[in-house]
Amino acid sequence: MPPIMQDFSNSVKLKYVKLGYQYLVNHILTLTLILIMAGILLEVIRLGPDELLKLWDSLHFDLVQILCSSFLIIFIATVYFMSKPRSIYLVDYACFKPPVTCRVPFSTFMEHSRLNLSNNPKSVEFQMRILERSGLGEETCLPPAIHYIPPNPTMEAARGEAELVIFSAMDSLFEKTGLKPKDIDILIVNCSLFSPTPSLSAMVINKYKLRSNIKSFNLSGMGCSAGLISIDLARDLLQVHPNSNAVVVSTEIITPNYYQGNERAMLLPNCLFRMGGAALLLSNRRSEHRRAKYRLVHVVRTHKGADDKAYRCVFEEEDKEGNVGISLSKDLMAIAGEALKSNITTIGPLVLPASEQLLFLFTLIGRKILNPKWKPYIPDFREAFEHFCIHAGGRAVIDELQKNLQLSAEHCEASRMTLHRFGNTSSSSLWYELGYIEAKGRMKKGDRVWQIAFGSGFKCNSAVWKCNRTITTTSDGPWADCIDNYPVHIPEVVKL
């Protein structure tokens, strides 16, 4: 009997073949330059010193030509450096940690649901099923007004929550960075669903007595991806205002938006959204280069609002009884997937190494010309980033992105643990995730971070950061008292 041929993938180490291919393509310019330099060196050795002296003597230098060449070089260098975008640094950030009095364990949440929805046991049962599969833990928090039976979502209570979250995060940021209120040149506050008059940005200005010439902005209605929209706005402003500091505050105020009706599509956010907020200091000052944690590399925004289904998949409206809530469409995950594809198409060429781009191009050409049934090649974004911060919108969101991007469990750990510990804190969740990675001591100098967020409208936004220095673990921050307990195993279903 002839010997059975070994499987090719086992006999030939395809892993090492791929690694060799990646190294060759990604360093092709360096390798080419080395070969050229080696050729020049061999030619110099072959000619010898006498021939080199003769060659030097044969060259004739004209003073006018030298001056013109020098001027041209200086002019090109000046134009290049003047047109080069300013570097934007994330000096530091601070996340709000809710007080223990706001904690809502599963038992408390379900007890309140039974009392508030006593006339509709099916809605109570639905919320219990969602909570069991949500991926949330026992330590998430809701604002004080939601702890009342029934909830008491007054304007005063909503302002109280906003002041607690935003001022706590701002105070922590001032303490960590040594920033003084008078040094803030730009202020951006984003909160999607709570937009009072005066605005939240005006509330911050009043509290800290900021300068009268400050450039302030208040973004609302832009969903969970508004934090990265604020980063994009801050980047654009810092490009035109030199030597400036920008503070970005991202939060979502839960108090006025807790749904008290019976529509299932509107009850879902009650089970997922929790208190949270973050304050960030961005700067274009060169003096901040050494102490800044990160440098902003790219921001890519994708908006699918031209499509009616995408526009309405996360929609604030009234139910039949007049209760206002956020309705989540069944098509949400499919729409999020399409938005992610569009975003990846844009960000891929900016961040992927040449080896991945060539493989994608060859596969695309092969499918068009040779065989349409070829499986499309999904670029390996693990070659472009060391860390991933996926918006902790829910277990299904994280699962879908892990599957589509072919990420490992460790790559999604920060997102899952943030969802477990703090719940869906909307636009600020990305910063809790980044804090988790730092608290674990995993962030090293040169590491690249990809933040991905989804928002109503429908939007998918990405930000790419490069770590400016190795970050040591600190004794403060939202993870300080619990990081040693994580990661934890999160079962598919938690029986209540």
- Residues recognised as catalytic: 224, 303, 387, 391, 420, 424
Residues 6+ apart with CB under 8 A from 168: 96, 97, 277
Distance between CA atoms of residues 416 and 105, nearest Å? 18
Distance between CA atoms of residues 389 and 376, nearest Å? 25
Question: Residue length, the chain?
Answer: 496
The CA–CA distances, whole Å, from 254 to 102, 207, 316, 336 equal: 12, 21, 14, 23
| DSSP output for 73-100 | HHHHHHHHHHHSPPP-EEEEEEE----G
Distance between CA atoms of residues 251 and 170, nearest Å? 12
State the Rg of the chain over Cα: 27
Instruction: Give the Cα-Cα-Cα angle 350, 354, 357 (nearest 5 degrees).
Output: 75
Query: Which pairs count as long-range contacts for 11-14, CB under 8 Å and 24+ apart, including other chains?
Result: none
- Which residue, chain included where needed, has tokens 């649901």? 113
Task: Report the candidate in 95, 89, 21, 178 with the shortest Cα–Cα distance to residue 431.
Answer: 95
Could you tell me whether strands 459-467 and 448-455 are parallel, antiparallel, or unpaired per DSSP bridges? antiparallel
Spatial contact of 254 and 121, defined as CB atoms under 8 Å apart:
no
Distance between CA atoms of residues 354 and 28, nearest Å? 9
> At 196, which amino acid appears?
P
> At 188, which amino acid appears?
I
